Amino acid sequence: MIVLRLPVLAAVLALLGSASALAQTDKPPQVARPTTAIPRGGCVTSECHPNLKTMPYTHGPVGVDACDACHKDTDVTRHTFELVRTGEQLCAFCHQLDLTGPYVHRPVAEGRCVECHNPHGGDNRSFLRGGGGAASCAACHPDVTGGLPVVHGPVAAGACTACHRPHSSANPKLLTATGRDLCLDCHLSLKKRLDTVRSVHGPVAVDCTTCHRPHASERKMMLKGDPTQLCLGCHSQIGALIDQAATKHEAVSSGQACRNCHEPHGSDFPALLLNDMVDICLSCHDRDIKLPDGTTLANMKAVLATGHSLHGPIAQRNCVACHQIHGGSNFRLLVKEYPPDFYAPFRDESYALCFACHERQLLFDARTDRLTNFRNGDQNLHYLHVNKETKGRTCRACHETHASNKAKHIRDAVPFGSGGWLLPVSFEKNDTGGRCSPGCHRPYAYDRMHPATNITTTQSTAGPTTQPVRFDQGSPTKGKQP
Confidence band for 40, pLDDT divided at 50, 70 and 90: confident
Residue that wins the pLDDT comparison between 327 and 417: 327
- Residue 147 region by backbone torsions, left for phi larger than 0, else alpha for psi between -120 and 50, else beta: left
Domain ranges for the chain: 53-174
Determine contact, residues 192/200, Cβ cutoff 8 Å.
no
Query: Is a pLDDT exceeding 90 seen at residue 440?
Result: no
Residue that wins the pLDDT comparison between 369 and 461: 369
| Mean of all residue pLDDT scores within the chain | 87
Confidence band for 19, pLDDT divided at 50, 70 and 90: very low
Confidence band for 3, pLDDT divided at 50, 70 and 90: very low
d(CA 456, CA 435): 15
Average pLDDT over residues 421-435: 91
Q: What is the pLDDT of residues 381-425, one digit of tens each?
A: 999 999 999 899 999 999 999 999 888 899 999 988 877 788 999
Q: Looking at beta carbons, which pairs linking 175-184 to residues 24 or more positions away fall under 8 Å?
A: 179/206, 179/207, 179/208, 180/204, 180/205, 180/206, 180/207, 180/208, 182/208, 183/208, 183/212
Residue 482 pLDDT: 32
Q: What is the pLDDT of residues 121-171, one digit of tens each?
A: 999 999 999 877 788 898 899 899 999 999 999 999 999 999 999 999 999
Residue 410 pLDDT: 92
Angle subtended at Cα 229 by Cα 148 and Cα 293, rounded to the nearest 5 degrees = 130
Determine contact, residues 42/50, Cβ cutoff 8 Å.
no
Residue that wins the pLDDT comparison between 417 and 316: 316
Average pLDDT over residues 441-456: 89
Q: What is the pLDDT of residues 241-293, one digit of tens each?
A: 999 999 999 999 999 999 999 999 999 999 999 999 999 999 999 999 998 88
Count how many Cα atoms sit within 13 Å of the Cα of residue 17 in the half-sphere of its side chain.
Answer: 6
Confidence band for 28, pLDDT divided at 50, 70 and 90: low
Query: Is a pLDDT exceeding 90 seen at residue 47?
Result: no
Q: What is the pLDDT of residues 203-247, one digit of tens each?
A: 999 999 999 999 999 999 999 999 999 999 999 999 999 999 999
d(CA 437, CA 431): 18
Residue 89 pLDDT: 87
Residue 457 pLDDT: 55
Say what percent of the chain tops pLDDT 70: 88
Rounded to two decimals, the pTM is 0.76
Range with lowest mean pLDDT among 183-192, 280-289, 322-331, 412-421: 412-421
Residue 228 pLDDT: 95
Residue 147 pLDDT: 92
Range with lowest mean pLDDT among 13-22, 326-335, 363-372, 376-385: 13-22
